[in-house]
Amino acid sequence: MSRTRTRAETSPRGPVGAALHSAEPQRANTHRHHRTTTKSSGTSRTGEASHPSRWRWLAPVLTGSAAALGAAVLYNRQRAQAAERNTPPMGRFLDVHGVRLHYIERGQGAPVVLIHGNGTMIQDFTVSGLVDRLASRYRVIVFDRPGYGYSSRPRQLWSPRAHAKLFQSALEQLGIGQTVVLGHSWGTLVAVALALECPSLVRSLVLASGYYYPTLRADTFLFSPPAVPVVGDAMRYTISPLIARAILPGLIKQMFAPAEVPERFERQFPKEMMLRPSQLRAAAEDAALMTPSVMELQHHYGELQMPVTIITGSDDQIADIGRQSERLHRELPQSELIALPRLGHMVHHLAPDAVASAVERAAQKAGEEARDQPRVD
């Protein structure tokens, strides 16, 4: 637009003032306006022509990324299917509160329930040899926690107390009225919650390599992203299994340190089952819930009245013995602390006989307490 026209339109005289301008200036202005418009149009066409060239790389990048993600989805699905073919269910199933719960049952006698930690499954106790040792004297029951192994995991908040209510109902279906409960690592939270939710069910507790008090943990931040809805779902079907497969050997080494990873674990434990998208979601959700869970549970430890055996490796590099097991032992007068020298987090693999002996002593203590209680006729 010309300067002359602009002045006319902004003049206080308005449209009437604009009519008083001569025709010649208007024609001159029209000519200048035409040149300006033509020049601007040329500049615009040049810009329009150069604009696509700046973004020409975007289409191939997006196409390549989509292809890579699609390939990752197919690859991870094939690996998960192969893992399940190579490791079929080893037990039976219960339908409990909408959960298809996979479990094994071995041996006869007084019941003992084993609850595994984060990322693992029933095989954590079978490969270690603990199930075989205990099954010679007890009726041993091991559950795949929801989302692990072959147990389903409906979308809900799977806190330790939610686990406890699920297992309480499952044990009722199995006809178990009282039992010794052993939990390892994250499973100790479930074992404690079960004892708090249903103290008449739990005769005695064995807590192995547990985490009982809140601390700042790097693994909570590292392993939690796949738990985020939508974004996490996309991750666990694409990049998360690839990343987990790359870092898994180092994580396993740290779990056993300072001891070496046992050859039996390396050969028999189904590691590929840990890398399925379904199990990665369960592990991520448990990692995210761990610290909030102990913040709630720690206020109720004093309510535990049954015998408690705390067993841990003295050099555990996952759960610090002083800040966790020793502190819990101080707060529970009826507890016994067993620290196994030069061992790390996976005590049931590194010292299965010692863990089995701890379970036997816990069962004996529970029996002695039951005999000492006065009978009500």
188-202 per-position pLDDT tens digit: 999 999 999 999 999
Rounded-to-10 torsion of CA 40, 41, 43, 48: 140
24/91 same-domain check: no
Has residue 262 been placed in a domain? yes
Has residue 201 been placed in a domain? yes
What pLDDT band is residue 51 in, cutting at 50, 70 and 90?
low
Q: Enumerate residues 6+ apart whose C-beta is below 8 A from 309.
A: 204, 205, 206, 207, 335, 336, 338, 358, 359, 361, 362, 365
Has residue 29 been placed in a domain? yes
The rounded percent of the chain whose pLDDT value lies above 70 is: 78
263/311 same-domain check: yes
Structure tokens at 274: 């840990």
174/261 same-domain check: yes
What is the pLDDT at residue 346? 98
88/186 same-domain check: yes
Has residue 100 been placed in a domain? yes
The b-or-e profile of 181-215 (16+ CB within 10 A means b, else e) is bbbbbbbbbbbbbbbbbeeebbbbbbbbbbbbbbe
214/297 same-domain check: yes
Has residue 134 been placed in a domain? yes
d(CA 322, CA 328): 9
d(CA 307, CA 205): 6
d(CA 183, CA 192): 8
The rounded percent of the chain whose pLDDT value lies above 90 is: 69
37/85 same-domain check: no
Give yes or no for residue 157 having a pLDDT over 60: yes
CATH number of the domain within which 245 lies? 3.40.50.1820
Q: What is the CA radius of gyration of the chain?
A: 33
> Which helix (DSSP H) or strand (DSSP E) does residue 39 occupy?
helix 23-54
pLDDT tens sequence across 264-320: 999 999 999 999 999 999 999 999 999 999 999 999 999 999 999 999 999 999 999
pLDDT tens sequence across 99-144: 999 999 999 999 999 999 999 999 999 999 999 999 999 999 999 9
140/35 same-domain check: no
Q: Enumerate residues 6+ apart whose C-beta is below 8 A from 223.
A: 283, 284, 287
What is the pLDDT at residue 363? 94
Has residue 244 been placed in a domain? yes
Has residue 62 been placed in a domain? no
Mean pLDDT across 223-250: 83
Has residue 377 been placed in a domain? no
Give yes or no for residue 146 having a pLDDT over 60: yes
Q: Which domain holds residue 98?
A: 71-368
Give yes or no for residue 9 having a pLDDT over 90: no
27/172 same-domain check: no
22/122 same-domain check: no
What is the pLDDT at residue 235? 83
What is the pLDDT at residue 374? 55
123/240 same-domain check: yes
9/154 same-domain check: no
129/40 same-domain check: no
> Number of folded domains in the chain?
2
Q: Are 301 and 210 in contact (CB under 8 A)?
A: no
Give yes or no for residue 36 having a pLDDT over 50: no
